[in-house]
Structure 1
Amino acid sequence: MTDLNAPSDELLVAYLDGELDAEQRRFVVDQLHAHPAVAERLAALQCADMPFKAAFEGVLDEAPTERLNAMLKALPAREPPALSRRRFLAVAASFAVAGVVADRLFMAWPHAESGQGWRASVAEYMALYTPQTLENLSDDRAAHVAQLRSVGTQLGLPLSPDAVSLPGAEFRRAQILNYDGVLIGQLTYLDPRHGPLALCITASQKGPAGLATEQRRGMNVVYWSNASHGFMLIGRNPFDDLQIMARSAEERLLG
């Protein structure tokens, strides 16, 4: 963005984190409505699959990887401090500039038990969500449209607020996750009765399969697939409610 009046990335991230005062928030919302480029930048900042490795690849190629890895392994394990989004970005950049393999930062999030697949990893991630995790996220429709457009483009599936609307739940955010090189679109919602839930989408060549259910991490899961994508709906809602939502999503996303 070349507009000198456009909000900085730091301001956009603070907007995503709910850290702006009323005047700053109005400014960002006005910019999102007036400038599609700002909305697209906001969606890019919100995506989990940020290209840190590519951005610092030249520096990493020159890093003494073996020696640094040995030093890291020798360090005593300790509980990492909680990272805000802005601190996460700063730490990722500083790791790369210092010559440390940036992927180490992302390895702090544990993988699901081997062989359990992407649904298990999503369940581990979602088990940490509370209503407070989502309540401060932007409810601006322009931002949601930009997020869904970005996620849909990466998944090869047109997405819009109407197409992903779920009965009884409020859409809060769309972002891309990366599971062992496989892109997963995560659409999060807040149900006033049962808390956070997520509709997750990934490209799949396994062919159509009807609704099936399972439980993971104390949450209920409904999953299915069509000719090109696999879907997973996860939350603490009763199975009957999730199946109603899943059928609604299945119908709207048939395309």
Structure 2
Amino acid sequence: MADRTFTDEELVAYLDGEDAHAPVAEIRAALQEDVALRQRLDALEIDKQAITDGFAALLTQDRPAPVLPEPAVSRGHSSASLALVASLALAVGLGAGVYLNRATQPGWLEYVAAYQALYSTQTLAHIQQDEAAQQAELDRVATAIGKMLTPAELDTLPGAEYKRAQVLNFNGKPLIQLTFLTDDGDPLALCIIRSNKGRGAQPELSRMEGMSAAAWGRDGYEYLLIGGQNDAQIERYAEVFSEAEI
């Protein structure tokens, strides 16, 4: 008799002595000549003695009974009261969740910082453009945010070289990124976006994504200068740009 004619359920029933649920006579006959069937039975058979010994060992251990938590609400409260409390808790939780989500939602500064954290010296070191190419690039980004810039205005940082400009986007608004590489190999970025949030004209220093950063605002624009870990350098460069009214 072929091995495949018996299901695992039938073989387990045979092993457990449940004759009503297994073709006992057929299995016994097949076992006389079917080596594969004997192997299946061996694999399905449970070591019952090992289980018995294991439970016996557990019973000899002095384990304290588990302590169940006390009900949080006294028995005097009705099921309707419990439902009301649960509903209010859910509503408050959802409201707090919405508030926290709005309060902690990252703005353009955070997105720019995360993007800048991916930059390395190699990102900018290979970029070499003459002044004409730089101006053509700046004319293109000027169209995006309505701010005219020249290479001469940007190539004024002591110890840092202007590299390139590109147009990014945040929530449907164009954002331009002007990149620089310091003599120490730190990639920097000056990012500008149109905004009327009223950020102060004096650069405010901070740390973002582990990098030095300074943010300020002027004439309907917001600025972020970020990169490296030299706070004094970022502060000095931010003052150069803010005073020049870039």
TM-score by length of 2: 0.54
Q: Deviations over 1:65-88 (max 9, x none)?
A: xxxxxxxxxxxxxxxxxxxxxxxx
What does residue 252 of structure 1 align with? 244
Please name the residue that 1:162 is paired with. 152
- Is 2:113 the counterpart of 1:126? no
Using CA pairs under 8 Å that are at least 6 residues apart, name the structure with larger relative contact order, 1 or 2.
1
Match of 2:204 in 1: 212
Q: Normalised by the size of structure 1, how large is the TM-score?
A: 0.53
Among the aligned pairs, what percent are the same residue?
Answer: 37
Within 5 Å, which residues of 2 pair with 1:1-255? Answer: 115-165=105-155, 166-207=157-198, 209=200, 210-253=202-245
- 5+ residue gaps, structure 1, are 1-112
Distance 1:220 1:201 in 2: 17
Shift, 1:237, TM fit:
4.1
Cα displacement (A) at 1:224: 0.2
**5+ long unaligned stretches in structure 2:** 1-102
SS in 1 for 2:206: strand
Deviating runs (4+, > 6 A) in structure 1? none
| 3-state secondary structure, aligned to 1:159 | coil
Contact 1:163 1:253 in 2 (8 A): no
User: Matched residue of 2:112: which SS?
Assistant: helix
Measure the CA separation in 2 of the matches of 1:147 and 1:167: 22
- 8 Å CA contact 1:118, 1:179 repeated in 2: yes
Q: 1:114 to 1:208 in 2, by over 3 A?
A: closer
Q: CA deviation at 1:214?
A: 1.4
CA RMSD of aligned residues (A): 1.7
Equivalent residues of 1:194, 1:237 under 8 A apart: no
Name the amino acid aligned to 1:140: D
Structure 1 residue 240, shift from structure 2 partner: 1.4
Deviation at 1:164, TM superposition (A): 2.0
- Report the number of matched residues: 142
